[in-house]
Amino acid sequence: MNLTVLAASGQTGMALTRQALRRGHTVTAIARDPERIVLPDSPNLRKVAGDVNDAASIAAVVDADSVVLSALGTDRAGTLLAGARAVVAAGPRRVIWLGAYGTGPSADVAGEGAGVLATVLGARLADKVEADHTVLAAGGTVFHAGMLADGPESPRRRTVGLEAGPAFDLGAKVSRETVAAAMLDEAETPGFPGVVALPLAQ
């Protein structure tokens, strides 16, 4: 497949890109500074500059044949929504978006822990929720991951719908490699179009 990875210079973005190449896909990796995508050159990898706050730069890369996987994350409110709008406006075939467990549609399932997350996120919470809604309304899949960590892909990983979501636990982490693998599974074999999915380590 031809995949487009947004925010490819971050840890999760590089995990997505690396795993996608390993699975035999062709990847267009987008970052504000492509030099920060510290992965070996490959004939199947194209590194390009793009900024979600400049929708034209995203539209120049994303088209109707694109399957976009977003690892976009930020400490600045407004960036996620700008990214979601820019990607959706570009009209890709599919969008697979990374969000946070315990926000928006998954808040009720996550339980009391979601309140702690809301306090930590502050003004960024509304941005996350609106960005997710934008992607879902366009038929995309939003992955609500728990606390991210380094480490290998979990051999017992699974992806479930909201109805099977566990209570939110700040101590229960999921590796970026596990989340990347789940998002790529969804790109290859869609199982959760238009809804929130949960990548679990076990």
Residue 11 has pLDDT above 80, yes or no: yes
**196-200: strand order across its sheet:** 45-49, 26-31, 2-6, 67-70, 94-100, 141-145, 196-200, 158-161
Q: What percent of the chain has pLDDT over 90?
A: 84
Q: Is 11 in a helix, a strand, or coil?
A: helix
Model confidence pLDDT, tens digit, residues 45-81: 999 999 999 999 999 999 999 999 999 987 788 999 9
Kindly state the tokens that stand for 55. 């929708």
Please report the pLDDT score of residue 138 as a whole number. 98
Local structure of residue 162 (DSSP, 8 states): G
For the four alpha carbons of 95, 66, 53 and 199, in that order, the dihedral sign comes to: positive
Model confidence pLDDT, tens digit, residues 123-155: 789 999 999 999 999 999 999 999 899 999 999
Residue 172 has pLDDT above 90, yes or no: no
Q: Is 70 in a helix, a strand, or coil?
A: strand
